[in-house]
Every structure is written in C-alpha cells, then in structure tokens.
Amino acid sequence: MEVGNGVTVIGAGNLPAQMPIAASTAYARNVAATLGEFVRDGGLTIDLADELQAAIVVAHAGQVQNPAVRALLDEKTAVAMAFAAMNVVGGYMVTDRMLHMFRRRQAAAPAPPAPPADLRSDEEAAAR
C-alpha cells in the first residue's frame, strides 16, 4: 500500500479486521489436531499412557484422571463441606430462634368448670 511521497507500507491493510479470522483459523486447526490425537482406527480411543492425552483428559471411567484437577477438587470439596456444615447448623439455630419467637404464649389457666346443678351447694344455687 502506497501512502504518499514515495513511502510504501508493506503489511496488512486493516489488521484489526483480519485478526479475528486468523485467530479463528488457528484455533480451529489446533482443535482439529488435538482431537486427531484421540482418534485411532476411525474411533475415539483414550490412552492415558500417552503423555498428551493424560494431560488433556480430566475424567475417564468415572474417575478424575488429571492430578491437578483432583487436587483442586479435593481442596474445594473440603471447603464446600465446611460451608455446608456451617449452613446446616446456622439454619437449625435460626429456625429454632424463629420457632421460639412465634410460639404462642400460654394464656392464664381457665377457671375450672362449674359443677353440675345437682352437686351445687344451696349457697351457690342461690347466688345464681
């Protein structure tokens, strides 16, 4: 591209516009090459003895295979269990406090019922 005064710029004319295309192409090539490592004889084959596959595979056959991920999960599991225990205990404490707060207060004991008319004394009958 010639700018003027005999100056010629050699390179991309609009680099910001061309960058996403180049990045997408490189990423697609890398993904295809990585997946190609897992395909043998036309089928998916996971071989954890292969250093590249062992580094990429996170979980296989129901087990976490990657040691770094396993360590991270163990740490996070311990922290999560501690927070879960605190949450349960705190929940019980708050619930108990709320139950005490909203419990009905005992009213004064009601007066005993009046005895039947045939058992009343003459004074009680006269008062009624």
pLDDT digits (tens, 9 = 90+) for 31-74: 999 999 899 888 988 999 999 898 889 889 888 888 888 888 88
Please give the helix or strand (H or E) that residue 116 lies within, else none: none
Is residue 53 in some structural domain?
yes
Residue 32 and residue 50 in one domain = yes
Is residue 126 in some structural domain?
no
Domain of residue 41, residue span: 20-57
Q: How many domains does the chain have?
A: 2
How far is Cα 39 from Cα 86, in angstroms, rounded to an integer? 47
Is residue 72 in some structural domain?
yes
| Mean pLDDT over each residue of the chain, to the nearest integer | 82
Is residue 119 in some structural domain?
no
Is residue 80 in some structural domain?
yes
Is residue 113 in some structural domain?
no
Is residue 36 in some structural domain?
yes
Residue 28's pLDDT band (cuts 50, 70, 90): very high
How far is Cα 58 from Cα 108, in angstroms, rounded to an integer? 68
Quick check: 17 pLDDT over 90? no
User: What predicted TM-score, i.e. pTM, was given to this entire model?
Assistant: 0.42
